[in-house]
Amino acid sequence: MMAAILTRQYRPVAARLTEEADAPLSVHAVRELCDATNNAKAYAMAHKMRGVICFPKWVMASVATEERVQFIFAPIKVPDGYKVVRWHIGHERSSGTGSDAIVLRIRSVGRLYVGPDAYDGTYCGPGSTTYSSLVVNSDLHSISTGALSIPYSDDTVYLMITAQAVQSGTKARLTTLDFTPRLS
């Protein structure tokens, strides 16, 4: 029995298994190649969809405690089948003391957001709007990671980042942003 395997990384099918053109094809050779294609779709060829080196550092701030739109990304075509985006964001708090915090939200919306600076969900278009969030409450460098659901199947993905200070005046600085699609 051969189940679908994703996590067995690429091991090229031995040439000897495909050399004699008129010999019966072995189950072993088919299994090897099937494993490799599954792995390629899940990991090896799931290319990074966005990587941003935020140099100079990007400062994220909100007015009072409103949620403000901070950055909007150019749309990206995500290949068929990927349902989530694994994100990594490097950050530090640049303004605030004690336990002051600012919440950053990575949002996947239905179309290009062309609304007011203060985030308004009615400008996000039809379809599902999802978000994933992180809290910046330390002056030290840190890298947070999480998963964001995206529209299913072959589609254009619109990502944006918003910030909302829990305590007025709190700001965060970003150093890196990385988004990679995953099947689940």
Q: Give the shortest CB-61-to-another protein separation in angstroms.
A: 12
Q: How many CB atoms lie within 10 A of CB 69?
A: 19
Say whether residue 52 binds another protein (CB under 8 A): yes
Phi, psi of 79 (to 5 degrees): -60, 165
Task: Report the 10 Å Cβ neighbour count for 73.
Answer: 17
Does the footprint of another protein cover residue 63 (CB under 8 A)? Answer: no
Under a CB-based contact definition with an 8 Å cutoff, are residues 90 and 174 in contact? yes
Q: Which helix or strand (DSSP H or E) is residue 38 part of? A: helix 27-39
Identify which range of 101-109, 112-120, 127-135, 163-171 contacts another protein by CB under 8 A. 112-120
Residue in 96, 168, 92 with CA at minimum distance from that of residue 134: 92
> Can you tell me which of 94, 95, 130, 142 binds another protein, judged by CB under 8 A?
142
Is residue 118 a contact residue for another protein (CB under 8 A)? Answer: no
Answer yes or no whether residue 56 interacts with another protein by CB under 8 A: yes
Interacting residues with another protein between 21 and 50 (CB under 8 A): 21-27, 29-31, 33-34, 36-50
**Shortest Å distance, C-beta 120 to another protein:** 11
Residue from 99, 128, 145, 168 in contact with another protein (CB under 8 A): 145
Q: Does 133 bind another protein (CB under 8 A)?
A: no
Q: What is the 3-state secondary structure (H, E, C) of 65-112?
A: CCEEEEEECCCEEECCCCCEEEEEEEEEEEECCCCCCEEEEEEEECCC
Longest dimension (CA), the chain: 75
The answer to whether 9 contacts another protein (rule: CB under 8 A) is: yes
Q: How big is the site for another protein, counted in residues (CB under 8 A)?
A: 85
Binding positions for another protein, 84-103, rule CB under 8 A? 86, 88, 90
User: Which of 61, 65, 79, 130 is close enough to bind another protein by CB under 8 A?
Assistant: 79
